[in-house]
Amino acid sequence: MTTFHNFIGGAWVAPSTGDYFENRNPADQQDVIGRFPSSGVADVDAAVVSAQRGFDRWKRTPAPARGDVLRRVGDLMAARKEEIANLMTREMGKPLAETRGDVQEGIDTAYYAATEGRRLFGHTVPSELASKWAMTMRRPIGVCGLITPFNFPMAIPTWKAFPALLCGNSVILKPAEDVPHTATVLVEILLAAGLPPEVIQLVHGMGEVVGKALVEHPQVPVISFTGSTETGRFVGETCGRMHKRLSLEMGGKNAQIVLDDADLDLAIDGVLWGAFGTTGQRCTATSRLILQSGIHDTFVERLVGRAQALVLGDGRTAGHEVGPLVNEAAREKVERYVQIGKQQGATLRCGGARATGGALDSGFFFQPTIFTNVTAGSRLEQEEIFGPVLSVIQVATVEEAFAVNNGVRYGLSSSVYTSNVNVAFRALQDLDNGITYVNAPTIGAEAHLPFGGVKETGNGHREGGWEVYEFYSETKVGYVDYSGALQRAQIDNY
Ligand code: NAD
């Protein structure tokens, strides 16, 4: 069995604990990918000391030169795209088309970061005093602790690491326990592209040990966390107490609304992709389908037929459309919610059980599941399941559809299918989400636009796009008075 290491202090090293955990293919539990460090607090401490040295050097590297490194990272990722997609599917299960997309998101993020190296704008504005210059500029902050989830094993670490690095910070990456291999390859690529070794550290291990130690470390002033709202709450409490800069991207309960005037074929394709792609394990997954009464019965009938026809299996085999859940705990959680749905009076229209038979018996497969007659406010409708379970809610009007969409504690993405342009624009205005799609599913973020959610999905920051560069840099203001005299602001000019 291959043994993998942490990357700390500029070298691949064993954990101080001497402990390791096994990483297995969720589509085939007999397939062991390797063993990875189950690191301890001492490993995080060592990573921080090294990352501080890395920061001292990297912050002095001009931003365009930092961007050049990230351009080479993009080139290397593009050259290894197929290989990375394969190992990612083996590691977390989603089909190759989706893991290729995951790598592409990383490539796009790298090239975007490369160009930002030649922008990283501050502002120059007029001073209220004569012969005085006023401007803002961006400064790096320090060591950034990045804690990432399992569902986008390449894209999400790149969303965090590339802008953090471009801004001149050093980075400690703590990937999810289920996807340590993809993170290892990402670090290999950063090093191969010429990133000075101590600028990046990789510490594998359990969230409650390594993640917690990173969050609590006084010399890590920036934490960026993507994961569940429950874990994010602990992270937020600690960072609040320690006055850290914190970006939280957390859970979702995203809805697709289909109105009576929608293109139904388009909407069915959209909901199948949104609900069952990545086996429903996307933060932007469509877990609620809000149907207007006029099309409800026809739509459900057609949708159930299509969902039942989806082909499950190892995502590396052509023709397999839906992979396994990431681990047994995830599958048991889905089973619990199926029971909750039944107990609360929803109608199970398809799925609802483990998918078994042949090769499926070796993995964590679950049938695509659709409940109808789901009541707004019920647990099935309110809570994040993170699996292939779609809840259908029937509504009479556009107003009711919008109210149901907004009636959850999360606010990541939403989607509305309609041919009425006025309703489309009202949706953009009135739906309480960070992202609203019109005539497209709830998923489909692009690297050069800000990504994130409102309410308990996030804490106001965004990943991606230009906004994330604000998070990873400190705004500094410079005033230069070239009048040769004392000029008192707010006094001498009034
Ligand atoms: P998770 O919360 O279980 O784990 C996320 C990360 O946090 C992992 O690396 C884990 O090891 C670490 N962690 C666990 N306990 C910790 C602690 N006490 N202190 C510090 N770190 C700790 O989430 P997951 O199951 O990997 O991912 C699924 C969740 O992520 C879902 O809720 C999903 O909606 C969310 N997600 C959100 C977005 C977004 O952008 N909003 C994107 C992807 C996933």
pLDDT in tens, 290-300: 999 999 999 99
Q: What is the pLDDT of residues 100-153, one digit of tens each?
A: 999 999 999 999 999 999 999 999 999 999 999 999 999 999 999 999 999 999
Residue 283 alpha carbon to ligand 1 centre in Å: 10
* For the CA of 230, the nearest atom of ligand 1: 2
Residue 479: pLDDT band (50, 70, 90) is very high
The preferred substitution site among 283, 337, 385, 408 for testing ligand 1, maximizing ligand atoms within 8 Å of CB, is 283
In this structure, are residues 323 and 96 in contact, taking their beta carbons and an 8 Å threshold?
Answer: no
Cβ-proximal residues to 51 (8 Å cutoff; 6+ apart), any chain: 143, 170, 171, 172, 198, 199, 201
| 188: annotated active-site residue | no
What is the distance, to the nearest Å, from the Cα of residue 234 to the centroid of all Cα atoms in its chain? 18
Return the pLDDT at 493.
83
| 283: annotated active-site residue | yes
Return the pLDDT at 259.
98
Which protein residue has the closest C-alpha to ligand 1 atom 4? 227
Retrieve residue 196's tokens.
Answer: 């000075």
C-alpha distances in angstroms, 260 versus 211, 393, 416? 47, 14, 11
354, 386, 158, 472: CA torsion to nearest 10? -160
Q: What is the pLDDT of residues 44-61, one digit of tens each?
A: 999 999 999 999 999 999
Residue 382 alpha carbon to ligand 1 centre in Å: 19
Return the pLDDT at 486.
98
Residue 494 pLDDT exceeds 90: no
**Which position among 105, 198, 249, 381 bears the catalytic label?**
249
Residue 21 alpha carbon to ligand 1 centre in Å: 18
d(C-alpha 339, C-alpha 333), whole Å: 10
Stretch 251-270: mean pLDDT, rounded? 98
d(C-alpha 41, C-alpha 160), whole Å: 22
**Which position among 144, 167, 239, 283 bears the catalytic label?**
283
Retrieve residue 363's tokens.
Answer: 């993995």
For 447, other C-beta atoms within 10 Å of its C-beta total 22
Residue 194 pLDDT exceeds 90: yes
Return the pLDDT at 127.
97
Query: What is the rounded average pLDDT for all residues in the chain?
Result: 98
The preferred substitution site among 154, 212, 226 for testing ligand 1, maximizing ligand atoms within 8 Å of CB, is 226
Return the pLDDT at 488.
97
Q: What is the pLDDT of residues 328-385, one digit of tens each?
A: 999 999 999 999 999 999 999 999 999 999 999 999 999 999 999 999 999 999 999 9
Residue 228 alpha carbon to ligand 1 centre in Å: 4
End-to-end C-alpha distance for the chain, whole angstroms: 76
* For the CA of 326, the nearest atom of ligand 1: 25
d(C-alpha 235, C-alpha 245), whole Å: 11
Return the pLDDT at 318.
97
Return the pLDDT at 42.
98
The preferred substitution site among 239, 250, 364 for testing ligand 1, maximizing ligand atoms within 8 Å of CB, is 250
Residue 235: pLDDT band (50, 70, 90) is very high
Which protein residue has the closest C-alpha to ligand 1 atom 9? 176
Cβ-proximal residues to 308 (8 Å cutoff; 6+ apart), any chain: 350, 351, 368
Residue 473 alpha carbon to ligand 1 centre in Å: 24
Residue 176 alpha carbon to ligand 1 centre in Å: 7
Residue 184 alpha carbon to ligand 1 centre in Å: 18
Return the pLDDT at 451.
98
Which protein residue has the closest C-alpha to ligand 1 atom 12? 207
Q: What is the pLDDT of residues 425-447, one digit of tens each?
A: 999 999 999 999 999 999 999 99
Cβ-proximal residues to 79 (8 Å cutoff; 6+ apart), any chain: none
Ligand 1: which residues within 6 Å by Cβ? 147-152, 174, 176-177, 207-208, 211-212, 215, 226-228, 231, 234-235, 249-252, 283, 384, 386, 412, 453, 457
- DSSP string of 166-202? HTT-EEEEE--TT-HHHHHHHHHHHHHTT--GGGEEE
Return the pLDDT at 24.
98
d(C-alpha 416, C-alpha 206), whole Å: 39
CA angle 213, 215, 216 (to 5 degrees): 65
Which protein residue has the closest C-alpha to ligand 1 atom 19? 212
